[in-house]
Amino acid sequence: MRDIKFRGKGLNSNKWEYGSLVNTTFRPYIIDGTTLSEHPINIDTVRQYTGLKDQNGNEIYEGDILNRKYVGFELSYVVVWDEDEAMFKGERKRTLVELPPVHFESASIIGNIYDNPELLDR
């Protein structure tokens, strides 16, 4: 069974919180699966875990920027949810590239769209 997890930036700490998403009318928060602590988060930063890991064993979340080396060049792209195909894909400068999730596992996370927006220009 696949893990359904989320991450979001903490409202008070501005650090990433990981766990289960609870979105109430009062405030959204992440419940940490280890301590069961509630962490208020910025709902605009919430992203879902893809269920995959990169080549270094790091969990890949929607909004992560990945780098994949090919023979003679490198390609960086953002992990996005494709509604039409109901799957996570790689997006490069607002154009979907044909990189199904299986290719994510041969890439490395180099950042994310919130902490490293400058990497989007690569």
Q: How far is CA 52 from the centre of its chain?
A: 10
Residue pLDDT, tens place only, 65-101: 999 887 777 788 899 998 998 988 888 765 555 555 5
Residue pLDDT, tens place only, 103-118: 788 899 999 999 998 8
pLDDT reported for residue 98: 56
Give the global pTM. 0.86
Q: Is residue 77 part of a domain?
A: yes
Q: Is residue 122 part of a domain?
A: no
Number of domain units in the chain? 2
Q: Same structural domain for residues 74 and 106? A: yes
Report residue 23: phi and psi, to 5°: -115, 100
